[in-house]
Chains A and B, each alone.
Chain A
Amino acid sequence: MTIMRDGKYITEGDFRDMDMSTIISHMVGREIKEKFPRVQCQKGKPIFEVRNLNAGRMVRDVSFTSYEGEILGFAGLMGAGRTETTRAIFGVDPRESGQFFLDGREIKINKPMDAIRQGVVLAPEDRKRDGLCTKLSIRSNIELPNLDISSGKGGVVNRRKVTEMVAKAKKEFEIKMPNDEVDAGSLSGGNQQKLVVSKWLARESRVIIFDEPTRGIDVAAKVEIYNLMNQLKQRGISVIFVSSEMPEVLGIADRIIVMCDGRITGELDIEEATQEKILEMATRFENKLTADQMPQQAHN
């Protein structure tokens, strides 16, 4: 096996001679003390509340609150309705009922721009299709949801403002790119995810929802994303994430909400959470599951 990093050759050796942590440290360039860096934070006041959200079969009477200083994880099996919940919150999919409260005041979200303007943003599950415009430049991607800020009279874009935005994002998130004109689609998975987040942080976002934050990202970059989520938590931004990887949920979340068949079936603080409890809540309506919602044995 040969290990490379940043386009340079690092080392090679027989696969059987290397253990996981050695491989990882070569890939990253430093030792990873833990796969899931956890940061303790004081849980503060409620930031974002969802009440009685109903959107078709997959989102049934969902209500929850997220707090300052905590990362809220949504666990469940495929088809539990978590992605649909995030999309309903973000205003992408229509909903039958539901109210949203930000810092105690009710807000209206009927389309994505409403959510974005009020600071509720989404990093979607399918990055390449829904998260970034892969044919456009990095600059264009950062600019796109922020055009209301960076454009003036008649919709004319202020290029200087955008350049500043991009420079700030690049520095803050350490996105590795040769220049800001390359296609967003040419970045690595980790850098793409950083780009997705950076475009939301170019404006004052209060709630960031991640749907499968580290899917398709290599081991080293995963850690960077977890660190990023921790940083956001420490800045007082509400971090909510959906993940089908049990270790990830248990490793990073401070509180876990479990969904099954469109409904919330349980809520656990991290201290009391175990795999068995989560799995039980995730399969509560097992006899009502259809064929394509059968529990996946791959989870461990």
Chain B
Amino acid sequence: MEEKKQNPVKKVLSARGVGQVVTVSIGLVILCVIFNFINPSFLGKRNLPNLLRQIAPWIIIGIGQGYVLITANIDLSIGSVVGMSCMIIATLICNGAHPVPAVLVALVACLATGVLNGSLVAYFKLPPFVATLGTQTICRGVAQLVNNNMNTDGITGAKFGAAAKTMTNIFYYQKTLGVFNTFWIALILWVIFNFILAYTRTGRHLYAVGSNTEAAKLSGVNVAMTIIKAYLVSSFCAFVLGLIVCSQTSTGTTNAGMSYETYAVAASVIGGISTMGGTGILSGVLVGASVWAAMDNGLQMIGTQVGLKNVVVGLIVIVCVLLDVIRRTGMIGRRKK
């Protein structure tokens, strides 16, 4: 059989994972047009930066969950790690620490969680659902214990309150070039982790482990290290979001990040990353996060009833998973030209 010469546009579109991303993007654009038609404030001067800042959190933890999903695992502890990060930073600042060491301590705690998750799954062979459910509970417990089960005071009133205030500005309240810093941070993280996933050895290992773990092992891949790396990325992203939430609320709240892991799964799945592992690209997280935030923001802007957003997004997630399952099992060879 001869290989046909493909024109460059077609080549990009037929690359793995791109199809779903493009489809969902088109859907997103249509949605935004509809929302804006009903309430012109939607794409207005005030809401655009607002919307972008609301997409950012889901991009950030979508990256982490995406990495883990690609290895055919799952991380249910993300939300609790967000809360733990937020509480550690706020508590330390309120007790007189400068933001920088406070942030570093939180970073260490979160990375340790990543290593724990990865080890439980890779070395002790615990099912990822069970392992990360355990760490979910542990980290939420830590988040509560850190300040005796109470929310903290405002960090801007503490000893290094001025530095804390700067931190909240940098990570949440300030804009650069008209767009909130929070969004730029999400974008930068995405660029870095997309590069790793798409262009490096580690990225190839992640996909291989998610596709056929045994085959990856027999191709010389260090499966355990790869899994641990994925969970490390996930916990790191959760750490960053915890820092952002702490900056947003200027305190530590014990229930910060509650249920965030499920939103991270949604952002990944809508964007085409399969829960069965081995497929999907990180651009999917950008679209998935955008859909999630745009639905939340848009449905509220047009005044829809509360429960409706959850129903609609839940349906979208189901449809995306269905599409993925059909693609995996019913139409293998679809990409043959």
Chain A interface residues (CB < 8 Å from chain B) = 90, 92, 111-113, 116-117, 122, 124, 126, 128-137, 140, 143-145, 147, 151, 154-157, 176-179, 181-183, 185-186, 199
Contact = CB atoms under 8 A, between A and B. Distances in A.
A266 to B, nearest CB: 29
B16 interface: yes
A285 to B, nearest CB: 30
A145 B217 contact: no
- Size range of the chain B interface in the assembly: 20 to 34
Chain B interface mostly: loop
Nearest to B14: A181
Interface string B276-295: 01110000000000000000
A176 B1 contact: yes
Nearest to B202: A155
Contacts, number: 105
A145 B219 contact: yes
Nearest to B209: A133
B337 interface: yes
Contacts of A126: 214
Nearest to B279: A135
A124 B218 contact: yes
A151 B278 contact: no
A155 B3 contact: no
Given A136-B278, A137-B16, A155-B201, A186 B336 contact: yes
B142 to A, nearest CB: 33
B212 A140 contact: no
Nearest to A134: B212
A134 B211 contact: yes
Contact of A90 (B15, B199, B218): B218
A157 B337 CA distance: 26
Given A129-B212, A133-B278, A135-B279, A112 B217 contact: yes
B212 A157 contact: no
B333 interface: yes
A132 B204 CA distance: 14
A136 B1 contact: no
24 contacts: A90-B218, A112-B218, A112-B219, A113-B220, A117-B220, A124-B218, A126-B214, A128-B212, A130-B212, A131-B215, A133-B207, A135-B210, A135-B212, A135-B277, A136-B207, A136-B208, A136-B211, A140-B208, A144-B208, A155-B202, A157-B201, A157-B204, A181-B15, A186-B332
